[in-house]
Amino acid sequence: MRVVLDPLALHGAFIREIEAISEQNLLACNQCGRCSAGCPLVEEMDLLPNQIIRLAQLGLDTVVDSTTPWMCAACLMCEARCPKGVDLPRIMDALRQIALRRGESRVVAGDVDPALLAGAPQMAIVGALRRGEK
In the complex with other proteins, the residue whose CB is nearer, 6 or 124, is 124
Question: For the window 54-73, what string marks contact with other proteins as x by the rule CB under 8 A?
Answer: ----------------xx-x
Cβ contact 53:86 at 8 Å: yes
Assess 26 for contact with other proteins (CB under 8 A): no
* Piece of 8-16, 29-37, 40-48, 58-66 that binds other proteins (CB under 8 A): 40-48
Assess 122 for contact with other proteins (CB under 8 A): yes
d(CA 115, CA 42): 27
Interacting residue with other proteins among 36, 113, 114, 134 (CB under 8 A)? 113
Interacting residue with other proteins among 84, 102, 130, 134 (CB under 8 A)? 130
In angstroms, give the least distance from the CB of 112 to other proteins: 6
Assess 28 for contact with other proteins (CB under 8 A): no
Assess 94 for contact with other proteins (CB under 8 A): yes
Read off the amino acid at residue 95: L
Q: Residue 74's CB: how many other CB atoms inside 10 A?
A: 15
Q: Residue 80's CB: how many other CB atoms inside 10 A?
A: 10
The Cα angle at residue 79 between residues 123 and 83, in degrees rounded to 5: 175
Angle between helices 49-57 and 13-22 (to 10 degrees): 130
Angle between helices 88-102 and 49-57 (to 10 degrees): 70
| Residues near other proteins, by CB under 8 A | 20-23, 40-41, 43-44, 70-71, 73-77, 79-80, 87, 89-90, 92-94, 97, 106-107, 112-113, 116, 119-132
